[in-house]
C-alpha cells in the first residue's frame, strides 16, 4: 500500500544516516476505504493526493512541536512527506479517514518519492506551524493561514536525490 509519512528535514537527515525512518507513533496516511467513502467522487490519484495533503498538514504539527533549542542544527522550516510502498498497514478510522498505523520502520528501498517545500514556502510554513492547533480547533483565521501554505506545492524528489537535497539545505 502507498503511504504518506509526515516528517521534517531533521527526520530526513536521520533517515539518510540510518537507512530507516520510524514514523512518529507509527502514523502515516493512505488512501483507505474510509477516505474513499468520505469523498463523493474522485479518482484514485486525486484521493491519494488528499492523503498526501493530510500528511503535509501533519508535518506542520511536527514542526510546531519541535523545540529549536534541543538541536545544534537549525533546520529549514519545510513540510516533508515521504511516500513509500509498505505492507503491514492498519487503518485507523477512529483517528481520521486517511490515518494508518505502520507495523515498523520504512527502509530506503520502500520509498517511492520524497516531497519537500521549496525555500519560497518557508515563511508560510512558519506561520502555519504557529497556528496549526488553532486551525484544528476551527479558528477561521488560522485556517486562512493554512490555506496560504497549502498554496505552495511540494517538490518531488527521487530517493537517490535525498543526500544531494540535504547537502543543499
- The C-alpha atoms of residue 74 and residue 102 are separated, in whole angstroms, by 29
Does the pLDDT at position 142 exceed 90? yes
Domain assignment present for residue 47? The answer is yes
Q: Containing H/E element for 156?
A: strand 155-157
Could you tell me which residue, 22 or 75, shows the higher pLDDT?
22
Give how far Cα 27 sits from Cα of 85, 119, 126, Å.
Answer: 14, 26, 23
Domain assignment present for residue 153? The answer is yes
Domain assignment present for residue 169? The answer is no
73: containing domain: 2-163
Domain assignment present for residue 96? The answer is yes
Least-confidence region, from 39-53, 57-71, 105-119? 57-71
Does the pLDDT at position 53 exceed 50? yes
When divided into structural domains, the chain yields a total of: 1
Does the pLDDT at position 31 exceed 80? yes
pLDDT band at 169 (very low <50, low <70, confident <90, very high): confident
For 81, residues 6+ apart whose C-beta sits below 8 A from its C-beta are 4, 5, 6, 7, 52, 55, 56, 59, 114, 115, 116, 154
Amino acid at each position: 500500500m502507498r503511504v504518506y509519512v509526515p516528517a521534517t528535514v531533521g527526520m530526513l537527515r536521520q533517515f539518510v544516516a540510518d537507512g530507516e525512518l520510524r514514523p512518529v507513533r507509527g502514523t502515516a496516511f493512505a488512501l483507505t476505504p474510509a477516505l474513499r467513502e468520505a469523498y463523493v467522487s474522485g479518482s484514485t490519484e486525486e484521493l491519494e493526493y488528499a492523503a498526501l495533503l493530510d500528511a503535509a498538514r501533519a508535518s506542520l504539527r511536527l514542526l510546531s512541536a519541535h523545540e529549536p533549542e534541543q538541536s545544534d542544527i537549525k533546520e529549514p522550516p519545510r513540510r516533508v512527506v515521504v511516500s513509500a510502498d509498505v505492507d503491514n498497514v492498519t487503518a485507523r478510522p477512529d483517528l481520521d479517514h486517511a490515518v494508518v498505523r505502520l507495523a515498523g520502520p520504512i527502509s530506503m528501498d520502500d520509498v517511492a518519492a520524497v516531497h519537500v517545500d521549496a525555500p519560497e514556502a518557508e515563511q508560510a510554513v512558519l506561520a502555519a506551524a504557529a497556528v496549526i492547533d488553532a486551525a484544528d480547533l476551527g479558528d477561521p483565521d488560522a485556517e486562512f493561514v493554512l490555506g496560504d501554505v497549502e498554496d505552495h506545492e511540494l517538490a518531488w524528489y527521487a530517493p537517490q536525490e535525498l543526500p544531494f537535497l540535504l547537502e543543499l539545505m
